[in-house]
């Protein structure tokens, strides 16, 4: 009788509390993951260039190309109308020419850059040991403040 009065209800409460504890641990883990992701996205958002920063981005790319002994032709980009969410996708062309190892290294530098720049299209053409590279790069810019 003592078993049915004390032990059986205690076993049921124990199982219920273990389930509650497991659920709380799961929620806590999800909350920690959310906090980490929130910090990562804040860092990404802070790293997105604004329209004012586009000349600096292009200048960095040109300097990187020239450091690798590539000659760079005129870089062209158009500022599109802002889309929703405060971000605008911007694509620009980047023509360069040089030795194949330098072109290969330049592509690697773009892909591993801290900047939010992606390669949308890549065309190579060779002539007498020189490679002509025509890149179409894409990035996101913040909508203009004001």
Q: What is the pLDDT of residues 6-23, one digit of tens each?
A: 666 777 788 889 999 999
The residue behind tokens 């599109």 is 80
Structural element, H or E, at residue 61 = helix 54-67
- pLDDT value for 89: 78
Q: What is the pLDDT of residues 32-56, one digit of tens each?
A: 888 887 776 665 565 566 666 777 8
Using the predicted structure, report yes or no on whether residue 144 has a pLDDT greater than 60: no
pTM over 0.85: no
Burial of residue 92 (CB within 10 Å: 0-12, 13-18, 19+) is: buried
């Amino acid at each position: 009788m003592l078993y049915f009065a004390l032990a059986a209800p205690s076993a049921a409460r124990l199982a219920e509390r273990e389930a509650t504890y497991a659920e709380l641990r799961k929620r806590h883990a999800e909350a920690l993951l959310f906090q980490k992701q929130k910090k990562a996205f804040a860092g990404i958002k802070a790293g997105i260039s604004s329209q004012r920063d586009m000349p600096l981005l292009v200048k960095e790319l040109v300097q990187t190309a020239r450091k690798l002994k590539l000659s760079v032709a005129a870089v062209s980009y158009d500022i599109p109308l802002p889309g929703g969410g405060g971000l605008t996708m911007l694509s620009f062309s980047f023509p360069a020419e040089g030795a194949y190892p330098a072109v290969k290294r330049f592509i690697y530098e773009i892909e591993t850059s801290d900047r939010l720049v992606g390669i949308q299209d890549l065309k190579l053409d060779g002539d007498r040991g020189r490679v002509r590279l025509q890149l179409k790069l894409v990035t996101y810019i913040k909508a203009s403040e004001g």
